Amino acid sequence: MRKKIVAGNWKMNLDYTSGIGLFSEIVNMVNDEVMGEQHVIVCPPYVHLGAICQLAKTHNKVSVGAQNCHQAQSGAYTGEVSAPMLQSVGVNYVILGHSERRQYFAENNALLAEKVNSALQHQLSPIFCIGETLDQRNDNSYFDVIKRQLAEGLFHLTESQFANVVLAYEPVWAIGTGLTATPEQAQEIHEFIRNEVRSKYGEGTASDLSILYGGSCNPKNAAELFAKPDIDGGLIGGASLKSRDFVDIIKSFSL
Indicate whether 126 belongs to the interface with ligand PEP (CB under 6 A): no
In this structure, what DSSP letter does residue 215 have? S
Cα 234 to Cα 216: distance, rounded to the nearest angstrom: 10
> For the window 193-222, what string marks contact with ligand PEP as x by the rule CB under 6 A?
---------------------xxxx-----
State in angstroms the smallest separation of the CB of 58 from ligand PEP: 27
* Residues between 80 and 99 that touch ligand PEP (CB under 6 A): none
Indicate whether 238 belongs to the interface with ligand PEP (CB under 6 A): yes
Indicate whether 171 belongs to the interface with ligand PEP (CB under 6 A): no
Q: What is the DSSP string of 56-86?
A: HTTSSSEEEEES--BSSSSSS-TT--BHHHH
* Residues between 94 and 123 that touch ligand PEP (CB under 6 A): none
Nearer to ligand PEP, 40 or 236 (CB): 236
Half-sphere exposure of 33 (CA within 13 A, CB side): 17
Nearer to ligand PEP, 180 or 201 (CB): 180
Nearer to ligand PEP, 173 or 201 (CB): 173
Exposure string of 51-73, with b = 16+ CB inside 10 Å and e = fewer, is: ebbeebeeeeebbbbbbbbbbee
The neighbour count for residue 16, using CB atoms within 10 Å, is: 13
Q: How many residues bind ligand PEP (CB under 6 A)?
A: 13
| CA 56 vs CA 10, 172, 232: distances in Å | 16, 31, 23
State in angstroms the smallest separation of the CB of 176 from ligand PEP: 4
State in angstroms the smallest separation of the CB of 75 from ligand PEP: 29
* Residues between 4 and 23 that touch ligand PEP (CB under 6 A): 9
State in angstroms the smallest separation of the CB of 214 from ligand PEP: 3
Indicate whether 187 belongs to the interface with ligand PEP (CB under 6 A): no
By CB under 6 A, name the one of 112, 127, 212, 236 that touches ligand PEP.
Answer: 236
Catalytic residue positions? 98, 170
φ, ψ (nearest 5 deg) of residue 192: -60, -45
State in angstroms the smallest separation of the CB of 159 from ligand PEP: 27
Nearer to ligand PEP, 10 or 162 (CB): 10
Contact 20, 51 (CB under 8 A): yes
Question: What's the angle, vertex CA 172, arms to CA 93 and CA 114, rounded to 5?
Answer: 40
Q: Residue with CB nearest ligand PEP? A: 237
In this structure, what DSSP letter does residue 87 have? H
Question: What's the angle, vertex CA 36, arms to CA 35 and CA 39, rounded to 5?
Answer: 105
Indicate whether 237 belongs to the interface with ligand PEP (CB under 6 A): yes
Contact 254, 223 (CB under 8 A): yes
Positions touching ligand PEP (CB under 6 A) are 9, 170, 175-176, 214-217, 235-239
